[in-house]
Structure 1
Amino acid sequence: MTAAAPGPAPLRVRLPAALVALFPDADRLVEIDAADVRGVVAALDRRWPGMGMRIADERPALRRHIAVVANGERLDLDARLEPGTDVWVLMAISGG
Structure 2
Amino acid sequence: MATVVLPRSLVALFPGAEHRVEVGEVGSVSGAIDALEARWPGLRDRLVEAGPSIREYINVFVDGEPAALTTPVPPRATVHVLPAVAGG
Task: Report the TM-score when normalising by structure 1.
Answer: 0.85
**CA distance in structure 2 between the aligned counterparts of 1:93 and 1:22, rounded to whole angstroms:** 19
**CA distance in structure 2 between the aligned counterparts of 1:80 and 1:94, rounded to whole angstroms:** 27
Match of 1:7 in 2: none
- Normalized per residue, the structure richer in strand is 2
**CA distance in structure 2 between the aligned counterparts of 1:50 and 1:94, rounded to whole angstroms:** 25
* 2:7 aligned residue (16, 19, 28): 16
Task: Report the TM-score when normalising by structure 2.
Answer: 0.92
Percent identical pairs in the alignment equals 40
Match of 1:37 in 2: 29
1:61 aligns with 2:79: no
Larger Rg: 1
Measured after TM superposition, the shift of residue 95 of structure 1 is 5.2
Return 5+ residue gaps in structure 2 as ranges: none
Match of 1:5 in 2: none
Return 5+ residue gaps in structure 1 as ranges: 1-9
How many residue pairs are counted as aligned between the two chains?
A: 87
